[in-house]
Structure formats: C-alpha cells, structure tokens
Amino acid sequence: MDEIAMAALYARDETCRALGIALDEVSAGRAVMRMTVGAAMVNGHGTAHGGYLFLLADAAFSYACNSHGPVTVAQAAQVVFLAPAAVGDELVAEAVERTRAGRNGVYDVRVVRQADGAVIAEFRGQSVVIAGRPPTG
C-alpha cells in the first residue's frame, strides 16, 4: 500500500472531505473511516439517513480495495441497517478484505457508534480492478 497514493486519493475526494468523513487508517485490504452525524444528515424520523450510512461504508470499502495499488471500483454493494444513529453520533466504519481473486474482491464493512459500540450497519461490497496505478498528485 502506497500511503502517498492513499493521501492523494483522499485529497481528491471532495464528497468525504465536504461531509467531514475522515480517513483514520489504511493498510493492505483494510480501511477505517469516521463521520459525525450532522443535522442535515437525518431523515424525517430524526435518524441518520440510510444514504449517509451507505456512503460512509462505501467510502471505507473504496479505500480498502484501492489499498493494493491498481484503480479499483465497486461492481456491487448491499447494506443492512441494524440500528438508528442520531445527530451527534460519531460513527466508525471498518472495511476488511475477505478475498481477492484475479480482478475481483469481496469486502465487509461494519459501521458502529463510537460511544457504545452498537452496530449501526453491515455492508458488503464487491470490487473490480479497472486500471493500473492511480495518479499520485
């Protein structure tokens, strides 16, 4: 894993940076990201909108599958929402590689509430390598 490439990828990631999604850790096949649920991120029920939970998990998945070097994208993903999150909750998403075969990979992401460890969502993503090394600048 090239730390410079991961830093460059994050620097170009306008969505994560605009939403305050921080990249805490990246290692081969693994990434940890965190986000605090803001007032603009809740739905009509006052809980974190599923789209933001998916986005946090998908971002961690992206960094984990790109940690090997070649440009890799999602080819499919699904999420199961298990518990609500509220404004002010700090959520941590940890993505872990389960397997890679040829150009394909499978990754699991668990989203937990930092305060009590409650599992908010479980995400599974399938990746595919589409190109060689990403740009570093």
Give this prediction's pTM.
0.93
Please check whether residue 33 lies inside any domain of the structure: yes
pLDDT at 132: 67
Domain that holds residue 111: 3-131
Please check whether residue 50 lies inside any domain of the structure: yes
What residues have CB less than 8 Å from 109, skipping those under 6 apart?
57, 58, 60, 61, 64, 93, 94, 95, 96, 122, 123, 124, 125
At 108, the amino acid letter reads: D
Please check whether residue 136 lies inside any domain of the structure: no
pLDDT at 15: 96
pLDDT at 133: 62
CATH number, position 39 = 3.10.129.10
* Domains in the chain, number: 1
Please check whether residue 68 lies inside any domain of the structure: yes
- The pLDDT tens digits along the chain (137 residues) read 578 888 899 999 999 999 999 999 999 999 999 999 999 999 999 999 999 999 999 999 999 999 998 999 999 999 999 999 999 999 999 999 999 999 999 999 999 999 999 999 999 999 999 986 655 54
Please check whether residue 84 lies inside any domain of the structure: yes
